[in-house]
Structure 1
Amino acid sequence: MKKFMWINGLVAVALVLIDQTFKNYISSNLPLGHVREIIPGLISITNLRNDGAAWSILEGNQSLFLIITLVALGALGYILFLKRDSWSFNVGIWLMIAGTIGNFIDRLRLHYVVDMFQLDFINFPIFNIADMCLTFGVIVLFIAIIRDDSE
């Protein structure tokens, strides 16, 4: 099982690198606020600076987000240690760690998070790859908790 933990960790590192590379590409090649349709009526790419959470909630509170992130990473590490023998828990936690670190790097380096994916068919927050990692991580963890029949 430790082999899978290392593989999940490497995948998490790769996801953080992909997230940061894509954010850098968007920031360098798409003017701030510009929208470019990818699939008409479905998804567009934009360059947005978000100094809050989803829907720009609590915008401008970078110190709060940095503290919350450090607490979240500590909690995720602790859960990972407790459930290190569960493949599904590992996948969910590592995805959440990757997403948390991806946005944490932005907050430390830029004092905002670069968001770029815009769903054109629904009023939904513009998001990035780190946000996708967090969302899928929560879904996987939720399924793992439902399926966990130990204790």
Structure 2
Amino acid sequence: MPYFLLAALLVVLDQVVKFLVRANISLGEGVPFLPHILQLTYVQNTGAAFSLLEEHTWILTIVSAVVSVLLAVLLARRVFPRPFAMVSLALVLAGAVGNLIDRLFLGFVTDMFQTLFMNFAVFNVADICVVAGGIAFCVYYVFLHGKGAK
């Protein structure tokens, strides 16, 4: 079960970073992190990406829970033969669970990474996992799926 361990470690990392931000940065305040690239800005997001559905946190909570269960089943059954696919699913699972924990216990998702070189949504470790895992899985599916496992 190394894929579940990877997902669990990423969820812990996500929750620790979120806790540290909530404990040390005032809501809406930004502190330098990587000069001219990123700053840490504490934001409470009740929606999904780019604050979509911000008035419907309960829908996002249900969707996150269902997706998390489905991803866990896919990982447990090892539906995809290549480790690349399984790691990408573990990343998406970690992100879904990380943000689900926030929605369940706080009623919002804690975001903190704000880009300074372009105007972009503030995001968190779980979001990075979802995006990286989603892109990686798309690459797998387009280029590797059905081409024989190594």
TM-score by length of 1: 0.89
Give the alignment partner of residue 31 of structure 2, picking from 21, 30, 36.
36
Across the two proteins, how many residue pairs are aligned to each other?
146
Select 1:64's aligned residue among 27, 43, 59: 59
Q: State yes or no: 1:79 paired with 2:74.
A: yes
**Which deviations, in whole Å up to 9, do the C-alpha atoms of 1:30-65 show, x marking residues without a partner?**
111101122232111111100011121111211101
- Kept in 2, the 8 Å contact 1:83–1:89? The answer is no
- Per the alignment, residue 115 of structure 1 pairs with 111
Deviates more, 1:27-36 or 1:81-90: 81-90
What do you get for the CA RMSD once the two structures are aligned?
1.6
Higher mean alpha-carbon deviation, 12-21 vs 38-47, is at 38-47
Q: Deviations over 1:121-151 (max 9, x none)?
A: 1121100000011111112111111222348
Shift of 1:90: 0.5
User: CA–CA distance in 2 between the matches of 1:92 and 1:126?
Assistant: 23
TM-score (norm 2): 0.90
> 5 Å matches for 1:1-151?
6-80=1-75, 81=77, 83-146=79-142, 147-150=144-147
Question: How far off its partner does 1:85 sit?
Answer: 2.6
> Structure 1 residues 150 and 77 mapped into 2: Cα distance closer, same or farther (>3 Å)?
farther
Q: Is the 8 A contact 2:78 2:86 kept in 1?
A: no
Q: Please give the alpha-carbon distance, in whole angstroms, between the structure 2 residues aligned to 1:74 and 1:25.
A: 28
- Between the aligned residues of both structures, percent identity stands at 34
Paired position in structure 2 for 1:3: none
Q: Give ranges in structure 1 of 5+ residues lacking alignment.
A: 1-5
The SS at the match of 2:139 is: helix
Give the Cα–Cα distance (whole angstroms) in 2 for the partners of residues 141 and 116 of structure 1: 25
